[in-house]
Amino acid sequence: MDKATAGGLVSGIILLLLAIFIAPGSSFSAFIDIPSAAVVVGGAIAACFIAFPGAAMLLFPKVLKKVFFPNQPELAPVISQIVEFAEIARRDGILALEAKTEEIEDPFILLGVQMAVDGTDVDLMEQILRTEMEAVAGRHKNGKSLMDTVGRYAPAFGMIGTLMGLIIMLGNMDDPEAIGPGMAVALITTLYGALVSNLFFLPFADKLAYYSKQEFQVREVIIKGLIAIQEGDNPRVIEQKLNTFLPADQRVSKDGQAA
């Protein structure tokens, strides 16, 4: 689990609850309204079903899970692996990498190594790998769009719920004692919309964008490394090239370990 995502979410909720309990005259029950929550959450989800095809909406749970469990590849181990492959290819020939294919867990690296072993032209190899990257980028963009859409529509439905509450309240103006509670309930919907948007789904979308950027950096390193292997570059030169993607204190040493 990504501790930053979980920690930020829990911290935000705790701070809001503390603010409610510490405020003089505040009551936690005053901030609970099921119809308001239904308008905000239900309305935002309904809007997503209108905005996206059903197949995309079926991916919503998977995208939401990725926010907390990103399964991101780390750059330093990838560089170490690429350098190891370069040393094998330099010492035993590029066909020797075929024996390593069963140990490769990353399908992107596996695709590149298989093409290198098959003697695929360097330009064609790069084109195929970048096409694969573009396909992944499209899927990432769709996942982020789902989170963005909920975050964008939730405040709007919060305002719609507030307007509905005001209409109901104004219809009961003959009862002065109901005006105050009615106004509070009407405003709760706006609060829910702002919370759903700014504490949950817009930050989720930003986190997915960050994960995507990090993943494409790793993919770029893989492409450059595998192409260099295919072109027969010296393993030390490959290591130096790929290390430029890392901060100085995290760069891979010549023995293939992170410094």
Burial of 184 (0-12, 13-18, 19+ CB in 10 A): middle
Residues of the chain with pLDDT under 70: 177-182, 252-259
The secondary element (H helix, E strand) that includes residue 124 is helix 122-170
Instruction: Please choose, from the candidates 242, 215, 208, the residue with its C-alpha nearest in 3D space to the C-alpha of residue 227.
Output: 242
pLDDT score of 258: 47
**In angstroms, rounded to a whole number, what is the distance separating the alpha carbons of residues 114 and 108?**
10
Amino acid at 27: S
pLDDT score of 100: 87
CA dihedral 207, 209, 214, 219 (to 10 degrees): 140
- The position carrying tokens 């330099």 is 90
**In angstroms, rounded to a whole number, what is the distance separating the alpha carbons of residues 153 and 196?**
10
**In angstroms, rounded to a whole number, what is the distance separating the alpha carbons of residues 187 and 179?**
12
**In angstroms, rounded to a whole number, what is the distance separating the alpha carbons of residues 153 and 130?**
34
Burial of 194 (0-12, 13-18, 19+ CB in 10 A): middle
50-58: long-range pairs with CB below 8 Å, 24+ = 51/149, 52/145, 52/146, 52/149, 56/142, 56/146, 57/146
Q: How many residues does the chain have?
A: 259
Strand partners, 258: 252
Which spans in 171-254 are helix H?
179-195, 202-230, 235-243
The secondary element (H helix, E strand) that includes residue 83 is helix 75-92
**Angle, to 10 degrees, between the axis of helix 43-51 and the axis of helix 122-170?**
140
**In angstroms, rounded to a whole number, what is the distance separating the alpha carbons of residues 180 and 195?**
23
**In angstroms, rounded to a whole number, what is the distance separating the alpha carbons of residues 247 and 2?**
22
pTM: 0.84
